[in-house]
Chain A
Amino acid sequence: MRALFAAALSLPLAIMLMGLLAALVPLPWSSWLVLQMLLAIVLWMVLISLVAIPRRAWPPLVGLLVANGASALLLQATSLYGGAA
């Protein structure tokens, strides 16, 4: 069951982390959009596999929730949203 929740929570996190990377890399984000999508997919897969590490189910799921929130807040500090080049 933890894998199911992990799969759902990892998708937005993987994509927001890629967004943060896109904000950090000194290149127009649209010029490497396909690579961002591929990396987001690999990251999504890896995040699902990482939930198996802790003994109990809830710490990684809470961790994912917190990470999602933190990433969403950090993204607000970038000019990416709505700034399609």
Chain B
Amino acid sequence: MKADRMRRYVDLHSWLGMVAGLALFVAFFAGALNMFHEEIHHWQTPRTELANAGTVQGLLQQVTASSEDARQRIYLLPGADPGAMWFQSGQDGAPGEWVTAYSSDFNAAGERGDRPHSGLADFVNQLHYQLAIPTVGLTLMGIISILYGAALFTGLVIHWPKLRREFFALRHQGNVRRYWKNLHNLIGVLCFPFHLIMSVTGAAMGAFTLIALVMGALVFGPQLQGVIDKETQVWPAPTLTGEPTEMAPVQRYLDRARQAHPDLTVDWIEVRGYGDQAAWVDVAASIPGVVGHHIHVLMDARAQLIRVIEPGHRSFNYDTLSPMYALHFGDYGGSLVQWLYFAMGLLGALLFVSGNILWCERRTDRNGPSRSSVFLLRLTLGVCFGVVIGLAGSFLASKLLPYTPWGAEIAVLEKGVFLALLLVLVVAGLRSVPLRFSRWMLTLAPLAYLAVPLLQLVLEGRYAWVVPDNLTVNVMLLLVALSLWVVRALLIARLRRAEPHPLWQEGPLPRSDQAVQTVTVK
């Protein structure tokens, strides 16, 4: 390829990476932790709450007895403390909202208490898929994923001709920028298939509404929405007859689903029109051995089989959707794939940091020092360390707050601690010398992640280790601490061998480009 064309590709790759890089760092770091979403959910629940937990059957009866909306449509989540989700309509024209209740919320008389719950797992999830920005966050992440995909294609064009040479090349040979470049290329090349999957599936989920809107407006017309509903729903919503019927117990639905597929694992149960003759129940589950592992067993109110949607017996649209979700969530290959996704998520976060640093250094080398390069490097460091340490702060707050007078506000304070740490570290990052700031943060961050399992051990004793989910989360947090420590060790080793780029050694953020040049010349 001609040199000038290659250069344009490098420029486009850098521009796309810069625009999407910070958001992708947040999504990948939170996504790596979110690989253990269910486990974090269990981890965040105090032992005392689990002791009060009842059964799915009891929860279903308690919720449907008190809410007409829940009778229309309710999702049941089996687990140590079973949960239920339904859409509660607002009163007097107020907008409704999704409500989640757990069996431990109900007392012996079946009354729901107003007990505060940690929202840590959900917050990590929101940070992953919508940067914790309500309403527009999901679509924003969809567009970011599109730019990420375009950056991947341009990256492939750039690296394809020299792929063999760059493979396993992590040398700096006295040139520090080369170190970042090699690190970036190595991770990018090794994890390319993973990133391709993440960009396409992430864009499909995030930009689904946008694509559907444009597709409806330009190609298929307004009927498209109806077709999407028809093609993606498991069964049409029931037309309620108003004739009451006795629903079968939840266990019978589960037994019938296992008759249809003996080795399934139940993910959730959807009940529509509870107590009505036209009611139906969908046991949504997973089966081992296939990537598109989702299966739906549909039954009527009396647990008579209506339909089974499973690999080999489902529409082409389902056959496309199911692997798309599975490939994104990494839940198709058991623990091995889960840990592999976790590792690649952390490496992906490192890919985006190294890409941003490369861009800043390359721009300075090419065009001379500029305020924007200095600002961007510092912003990158501030946001990245802010997110990493902010999340550790949320984990610490989640464990500590129930033992303080502020326990009632736990869900709000978990987010508040994250936001406060993020803001403080972004400001500190902008005002500090980048090299010194990085050294401090790379000492603080591993210690913060090490502190979380230790705190749980102090507060809850053996419970931190004997429960498998707690053990998994604590091991994951220790691995994050170890990874951050390795990055710190690499940074120190690199600095011993070569001088850092001048961008890393400047003092306060300059007010103008002229000031930057003066500082650099000095």
Chain A: residues with CB nearer than 8 A to chain B?
3, 7, 11-12, 15-16, 18-19, 22, 29-38, 40-42, 44-46, 48-49, 51-53, 55, 72, 75, 80-85
B214 touches A12 (CB 8 A): yes
Determine chain B's interface SS by DSSP, over half rule: helix
Asked whether B4 is an interface residue with its Cβ less than 8 Å from the other chain, the reply is yes
The answer to whether residues A45 and B146 also contact, given A3-B15, A33-B231 and a CB cut-off of 8 A, is yes
B5 touches A85 (CB 8 A): no
B143-171 interface with A by 8 A CB criterion: 143, 146-147, 149-150, 152-154, 157
20 examples of A-B residue contacts, CB within 8 angstroms: A3-B12, A15-B214, A16-B219, A18-B219, A19-B215, A31-B315, A32-B316, A32-B317, A33-B228, A35-B317, A37-B211, A37-B215, A45-B149, A48-B16, A49-B154, A52-B9, A55-B4, A75-B218, A81-B219, A84-B221
Q: How far is the CA of A47 from the CA of B81 in the complex (A)?
A: 48
Least Cβ–Cβ distance between B197 and chain A, in angstroms? 12
Interface size class of B (residues with CB under 8 A): 35 or more
Q: How far is the CA of A44 from the CA of B212 in the complex (A)?
A: 14
Residues in B neighbouring A72, C-beta threshold 8 A: 218
The answer to whether residues A34 and B321 also contact, given A41-B207, A52-B9 and a CB cut-off of 8 A, is yes
B231 touches A30 (CB 8 A): yes
A52 touches B149 (CB 8 A): no
Can you name the residue of chain A whose Cβ is closest to the Cβ of B206?
Answer: A41
Least Cβ–Cβ distance between B240 and chain A, in angstroms? 27
Q: How many A-B residue pairs have CB under 8 A?
A: 127
Q: How far is the CA of A84 from the CA of B231 in the complex (A)?
A: 12
Digitize B418-435: 1 where CB-to-A-CB distance is under 8 Å, 0 elsewhere. 000000000000000000
Q: How far is the CA of A85 from the CA of B316 in the complex (A)?
A: 16
Least Cβ–Cβ distance between B148 and chain A, in angstroms? 9
A81 touches B221 (CB 8 A): yes
A34 touches B317 (CB 8 A): yes
Residues in A neighbouring B154, C-beta threshold 8 A: 49, 52
Least Cβ–Cβ distance between B152 and chain A, in angstroms? 8
Residues in B neighbouring A18, C-beta threshold 8 A: 215, 219
Residues in B neighbouring A51, C-beta threshold 8 A: 12
What would 11 more interface pairs be, CB under 8 Å, given A52-B154, A85-B227?
A3-B16, A29-B220, A37-B215, A38-B204, A40-B215, A41-B149, A53-B5, A72-B218, A75-B219, A80-B220, A82-B221
A7 touches B4 (CB 8 A): no
A37 touches B208 (CB 8 A): yes
Least Cβ–Cβ distance between B407 and chain A, in angstroms? 44
